[in-house]
Amino acid sequence: MPKVRTKDLIDEFQFELVSGAEGIHRPITTSDLSRPGIEMAGYFAYYPAERVQLLGMTELSFFERLTPVEKRLRMEKLCTDITPAIIVSRGLDVPKELIEASEKKEVPVMRSPMKTTRLASRLTNYLESKLAPTTAVHGVLVDVYGVGVLITGKSGVGKSETALELVKRGHRLVADDCVEIRQEDENLLIGSAPELIEHLLEIRGLGIINVMTLFGAGAVRPHKRISLVIDLELWDPNKQYDRLGLEEEKVKIIDTEVTKLTVPVRPGRNLAVIIEVAAMNFRLKRMGVNAAEEFSARLADAIGDAEHDYE
């Protein structure tokens, strides 16, 4: 199923549909836009017909200087079987040649009162968001001190219970059980909850609870950038866990690598506090403060001093 159709643009931006109504269900496959200025001059060798075409003052003022035959031919070439839409900005008059060609090829022609640059920016942002690569992961996403923390782990390890404790401590829930992730830009992952389970948390023994109803609107948020992954696993006495934090593990989600911490779970460990500290420590590292590296340097200095005294 196409993620975006021309009709979605009409609904989102309240465009005026001028002609070509038969084609409003055409799919839009790219967030790139085209301002066909050079095509108006007659050069169609590299015409990106699959893009939304945007006509502003520059294109239409040049178009008015063409002969009647040229006008008809240019508009017929502009309207193809794969062109999803042609949008006229600034509320300008739509040329009759464009209306005729669009009706013939069933290409929707729309009009907007917005200025061309502003319209292009808003359209690009909307299409990039809608057409971004997506995936879904089993886990819980929580906003902890402004850091989007994705908590993962096997079923029953305590992800939802930890999220509930974090919400009680003043942090905000984004999604429980299933986290939908969009890569909106390079190294930018945005997580959100499926509409069906938004604001809901499943706690074994209690069932489904509505976090917004129980704790208020300040306890939830609709989406959050994912900056840190914390994987909860049952304590394995035979496994060597990182005790210094010098090695930074990464996990790849779609095309983006995210810092990952593995936290062992066993009775007596306060996971909510550990995750809070992990989020604060992550922020400190981004600000250039690395406690593990500082300790390692101090340890190296101490060993060097001891060797010097021994000599």
Rounded Cα–Cα distance for residues 76 and 99 (Å): 10
9-19: b or e for each residue (b if 16 or more CB lie within 10 Å)? Answer: bbeeeebeebb
pLDDT value of residue 247: 72
Q: Which residues contact 31 (CB under 8 A, 6 or more apart)?
A: 124, 127, 128, 131
Residue with tokens 């001093």: 305
Query: Using CA atoms, how far apart are residues 305 and 292, in angstroms rounded to an integer?
Result: 20
266 is catalytic: no
pTM of the model: 0.72
pLDDT at 285: 85
Instruction: Output the known binding site.
Output: 153-160, 202
pLDDT for 311 equals 58
Residue holding tokens 């299409």?
Answer: 127
Contact 182, 137 (CB under 8 A): no
pLDDT value of position 45: 94
Of the candidates 8, 35, 122, 177, the residue annotated as catalytic is 177
Structure tokens that stand for 288 in this block = 């250039």
CA angle 236, 238, 243 (to 5 degrees): 80
- Six token digits for residue 83: 């062109």
Binding residue positions for ATP: 153-160
Catalytic residue among 138, 168, 250, 286: 138
CA distance 199 to 214: 10
The question of whether 138 is a catalytic residue gets the answer yes
d(CA 16, CA 214) in angstroms, rounded, equals 43
- What pLDDT, on a 0 to 100 scale, did the predictor assign at position 24? 93
CATH architecture of 134-295: 3-Layer(aba) Sandwich (3.40)
Radius of gyration of the chain (CA): 28
Residues whose CB is less than 8 angstroms from the CB of residue 221 and which lie 6 or more positions away in sequence, other chains included? 143, 172, 173, 174
Query: Which one from 26, 74, 111, 159 is the annotated catalytic residue?
Result: 159
Annotation: binding site for Mg(2+): 160, 202
Asked whether this chain's domains 6-131 and 134-295 adopt the same fold, the reply is: no
Rounded to the nearest 10 degrees, the angle between the axes of helix 96-105 and helix 68-78 is 40
CATH superfamily to which 6-131 belongs = HprK N-terminal domain-like (3.40.1390.20)
Instruction: State yes or no: is 159 an active-site residue.
Output: yes
Residue spans per domain, the chain: 6-131, 134-295
What is the pLDDT at residue 213? 94
Each residue's pLDDT expressed in tens, for the chain with a length of 311 residues: 568 999 999 999 999 999 999 999 999 999 999 999 999 999 999 999 999 999 999 999 999 999 999 999 999 999 999 999 999 999 999 999 999 999 999 999 999 999 999 999 999 999 988 898 899 999 999 999 999 999 999 988 889 999 999 999 999 999 999 999 999 888 889 999 999 999 999 988 889 999 999 999 999 999 999 999 999 988 877 777 666 666 778 999 998 999 999 888 887 778 999 999 999 988 888 887 776 667 667 767 777 766 556 55
